[in-house]
Amino acid sequence: MTNLWSTVTVGNLKLPHRLAMAPMTRNRALFDGTPGNLSAEYYGQRASLGLLISEGTQISDDGQGYLMTPGIYTDNHVEGWRKIADKVHASGGHLFIQLMHAGRMSHPDNTPHHRQPVAPSAIAPSIQMFTNNGKLDIPVPRELSQAEIKETIEDYRIAAAAAIKAGADGVEIHGANGYLIQQFISEHSNHRTDEYGGSIVNRARFAIEVAKAVVDEVGAERTGIRISPEVPLGGVDEGSSALDVYRYLVPELAKLNLAYIHMLHVGNEELLSEIRSAWPNTLLVNRAGRPLKDIAVDIDAGLADITPVGAWALANPDLVKRLKLDAPLNEPDRATFYGGDSRGYTDYPTIDEKTLQNR
Ligand SMILES: Cc1cc2nc3c(=O)[nH]c(=O)nc-3n(C[C@H](O)[C@H](O)[C@H](O)COP(=O)(O)O)c2cc1C
């Protein structure tokens, strides 16, 4: 018997089971970053997943990396997200908005102000990204000054306040996948010589200061953070001291009593059990690439409290029902992941009685 279907808490929320929807960028916002009209329907359809972690949502013009991603820093953004939060709540779910700053993983063609992207250091990720003008090299970013680092931390705080104003139950700080926070953490992308670079303590400082600002603004019970130790996305190679920085960071975050850590896990089992021991609150583990049959393995082993699901949740609005009934799943259509209309967004069917009876 699996523990997957037992209740669990996140901050002050009591959730009905241990699945959640992993954050997924869908590139369907309006040009000004307001979530598009279909987004409320999309998230509402998936409310039975209990905790829905939104797509990466930029905290400022500088924070935008990709085209048509939503923001959470203007009145229009708040109104757009309010529709989503209302729909999710009316359908019985809970919403955490993922606060994202892409840092150097951006392109002037993709941002409202068309400026050079910013980062801890002027080091390009040496990869390409999609822009309005096709797939282009990501340019060398501009190094943030210390004053700008403080302003960026303030942007996280303001965005967190806006998320709560929009009716979200909390926010997830995006510290993963090679975006700004991980660019500070990694010695590969951070060559600073001030107190934000160099030693482990210095490279973890930005993440901790962002977390403090967000906690200060919206409360620890409404703040989670995502990390991705050893995940080489965005050209980030965390280098030899990769694991030590997380060994330092996690206990520091524990002092702030955040509602959860969300770990994108690529298989360093020793690190996962260390984080499990060092982290007193709820631990979300998204084990990338695990087969569906192993969905409850970390929960049942006591290594995770919640297992967020990405692509299967994207393709199956009624994933919880299907898994409980051991029913067949819709296959995710990768061609419609990033951008487009309702196709591959709100038109994945729920399972019907006929299919269930004919099994
Ligand atoms: C379409 C798509 C968009 C994604 N966008 C984000 C994102 O905005 N923020 C993030 O932290 N992870 C993002 N991810 C990663 C997922 O949250 C998750 O870690 C990954 O899909 C592995 O989980 P899965 O095997 O259950 O899909 C995205 C994944 C997919 C498939």
Question: Do 123 and 184 meet the contact criterion of CB atoms below 8 Å apart?
Answer: no
Task: Give me the residues paired with residue 309 across strands.
Answer: 21
- Ligand 1 centroid distance, CA of 277 (Å): 25
pLDDT above 70 as % of the chain: 99
Q: What is the pLDDT of residue 306?
A: 98
Average pLDDT estimate for 107-111:
96
Task: Give me the residues paired with residue 264 across strands.
Answer: 286
Whether the pLDDT of residue 353 is over 80: the answer is no
Contact 307 CB / ligand 1 (< 6 Å) = no
Cα–Cα distance, 43 to 83 (Å, whole number)? 10
Specify the range with the lowest mean pLDDT, choosing from 46-55, 186-195, 316-325, 348-357: 348-357
Angle at 136 between CA 173 and CA 117, to 5 degrees: 40
Question: Do 138 and 110 meet the contact criterion of CB atoms below 8 Å apart?
Answer: no
Contact 178 CB / ligand 1 (< 6 Å) = no
> In the chain, what are the domains?
2-357 (3.20.20.70)
Tens digits of residue pLDDT in 27-73: 999 999 999 889 999 999 999 999 999 999 999 999 999 999 999 99
User: Atom 18 in ligand 1: which residue has the minimum CA distance?
Assistant: 310
The closest alpha carbon to 345, from 67, 24, 120, belongs to 24
User: Atom 11 in ligand 1: which residue has the minimum CA distance?
Assistant: 23
For the annotated catalytic residues, the residue numbers are 179
- Ligand 1 centroid distance, CA of 92 (Å): 23
Average pLDDT estimate for 89-116:
97
Token look-up 């970013």 returns 141
- Ligand 1 centroid distance, CA of 238 (Å): 20
Average pLDDT estimate for 210-239:
93
Q: How confident is the model at residue 345 (pLDDT cuts 50, 70, 90)?
A: very high
